[in-house]
Structure 1
Amino acid sequence: MDKKKDADDVEPGPAPSRPVDRFGFIKTEQSNSPEGVLKSRPTHERGREERRIRKWRKMIGTGGSDWKHYVRRNPHVVKRRIRKGIPDCLRGLVWQLISGSRDLLLMNPGVYETLVIYETSTSELEIIRDISRTFPSHIFFQQRHGPGQRSLYNVLKAYSVYDRDVGYVQGMGFIAGLLLLYMSEEDAFWLIVALLKGAVHTPMEGLYQVIELW
């Protein structure tokens, strides 16, 4: 499946004619700030961000190896640092660790691939209809049938098969789309499972079940 995708790494097609922000969204209007201000932060701010990243890397360990041990020993430190903000370059991994989705992935090898390739969903037409409406101003999802839209379809289709009680509900695409900017398809799928089914925290699936009743 796809590797981790950051806004700066994605090449879904020809470069957009309008400027984009640092997250990959096309700007709707020109900023009054000097050219390049978003990319050229003051030196003291860059230094502070680098220190935060070092602290987080030490807390996480290689590939998340130290995470559970650190959380058990220093839960209040973890909570405080999360509230201050997770460094952008580490969000994908940290979200997986916090949610418990990394454990789900490791316990279910090959399941995502099977759902995408071999299963069919009764919601496929609905998902296809909604794909182009998900983050239409983001360069990764703009190209029709491009890599962004294909990845988004795969994740949503896989979840609609995995959890047939909830299936697919309009609005899921925005969660899946955000996750795909920080991680692979398979990682994004298991993070959605962890969020909706409650691997660690209170499950969110009731939200979509209520929407379905409407």
Structure 2
Amino acid sequence: MKSTTAEVDPGSYLLSRTVDGFGFTKQEQSNSTEALSRNRPVDDHPNDREQKRIRKWRKMIGVGGSDWKHYVRRKPHVVKRRIRKGIPDCLRGLVWQLISGSRDLLLMNPGVYEQLVIYETSASELEIIRDISRTFPSHVFYQQRHGLGQRSLYNVLKAYSVYDRDVGYVQGMGFLAGLLLLYMSEEDAFWLLVALLKGAIHAPMEGLYQGVKVVFQVGLALLRFCHDDLIKLPFEKLLHALKNFPAEAMNPDKLLPLAFSIKVSKRLEEFKRDYEKRKERPLPHSLPSLSSSGIPIHNLAGLE
């Protein structure tokens, strides 16, 4: 596949085809989580409220992100709140680069991406080519065989497999790179991929932004959302229900605001430290019951 580092414009592929606001070809109405996500409207002409949000964000980040670091240092809680409310679609590419630090990586490594694409070879090239057609096959930007979208995706994945030889190319990596390419150029997408996969935030699961706290919040939000239905079920049907939450409960526009509204006790960190200490001890002949562990079961859902 021919290498190129040209800038790409996914929007140029939309033409007159029947696609949704994100560029996916429209299919029959579905209640799946993927369909709910895709069917959320993206307005080319934002309303007054959205325009106000965009102006706030532009003021916060400055021209090309020039004010971002200063604003984050002065008002971190404002930044956190606005991110949770949602980054305006027209600014996501830039904001993702600023949050991750990939913009700094790009500036510190001029010409590196082009060298990786043009002059280096990867042992994963055939595997990458094989998987490209499976990446977002219903998105117009990636549907054309050897088209601009597929070439750009190939370039980014090949460059990363050479840059990070310990990881190389992993199947499924294309979906992450493919999403980034819908919002930014090849080189920007490459360095953001580097920041995501090689940065400190990718360490163990405990290194998630909010730690284990957000796992509890999302879990409790799902239970709260489905509370009325769950308490009506007989015990033997609960397991099936907990494995198959309704699509509406999985809608991020509803689930995440509910999750972030749930206050989690600082004692959770104490429980975590206690758990880590227990893991280091040799296992006893008989495991203690939950009631003897010092953590009442009924308190887990009421953490505040």
In the TM superposition, what is the alpha-carbon distance from 1:40 to its structure 2 partner? Answer: 6.5
Q: Structure 1's 205 and 24: CA in aligned 2 closer, same or farther, altered over 3 A?
A: farther
In the TM superposition, what is the alpha-carbon distance from 1:130 to its structure 2 partner? Answer: 0.1
Where structure 2 has 5 or more consecutive residues not aligned to the other structure, the ranges are 31-39, 206-304
Check if 1:28 corresponds to 2:24: no
1:159-178 equivalences in 2 (<5 Å): 159-178=160-179
Choose between structure 1 and 2: higher helix proportion. Answer: 2
Instruction: Name the structure 2 match of 1:212.
Output: none
Q: Structure 1's 67 and 39: CA in aligned 2 closer, same or farther, altered over 3 A?
A: closer
Q: RCO greater where, 1 or 2, for CA within 8 Å and sep 6 or more?
A: 1
CA deviation vs aligned residue, 1:66-108 (integer Å, no higher than 9, x gap): 0000000000000000000000000000000000000000000
Instruction: Name the structure 2 match of 1:108.
Output: 109
Secondary structure of 2:12's partner? coil
Where structure 1 has 5 or more consecutive residues not aligned to the other structure, the ranges are 32-36, 207-214
1:1-214 equivalences in 2 (<5 Å): 1-3=5-7, 5=9, 7=10, 9-11=11-13, 15-16=16-17, 19-29=18-28, 38=41, 46-198=47-199, 201-203=200-202
Q: What is the letter of the counterpart of residue 179 of structure 1? A: L
Question: How large is the Cα RMSD of the aligned pairs?
Answer: 2.3
> 1:117, 1:71 → 2: CA distance?
37
Q: Structure 1's 79 and 192: CA in aligned 2 closer, same or farther, altered over 3 A?
A: same
**1:134–1:174: 8 Å Cα contact kept in structure 2?**
yes
**1:166–1:205: 8 Å Cα contact kept in structure 2?**
no
Q: What is the letter of the counterpart of residue 125 of structure 1? A: L
In the TM superposition, what is the alpha-carbon distance from 1:174 to its structure 2 partner? Answer: 0.2
Alignment: residue pair count: 192
| TM-score scaled by length of structure 1 | 0.83
Q: Structure 1's 38 and 99: CA in aligned 2 closer, same or farther, altered over 3 A?
A: closer
Q: Structure 1's 132 and 15: CA in aligned 2 closer, same or farther, altered over 3 A?
A: farther
In the TM superposition, what is the alpha-carbon distance from 1:29 to its structure 2 partner? Answer: 1.8
Q: What is the letter of the counterpart of residue 48 of structure 1? A: R
Q: Structure 1's 40 and 15: CA in aligned 2 closer, same or farther, altered over 3 A?
A: closer
Higher Cα Rg, which structure: 2
Q: Structure 1's 146 and 15: CA in aligned 2 closer, same or farther, altered over 3 A?
A: farther
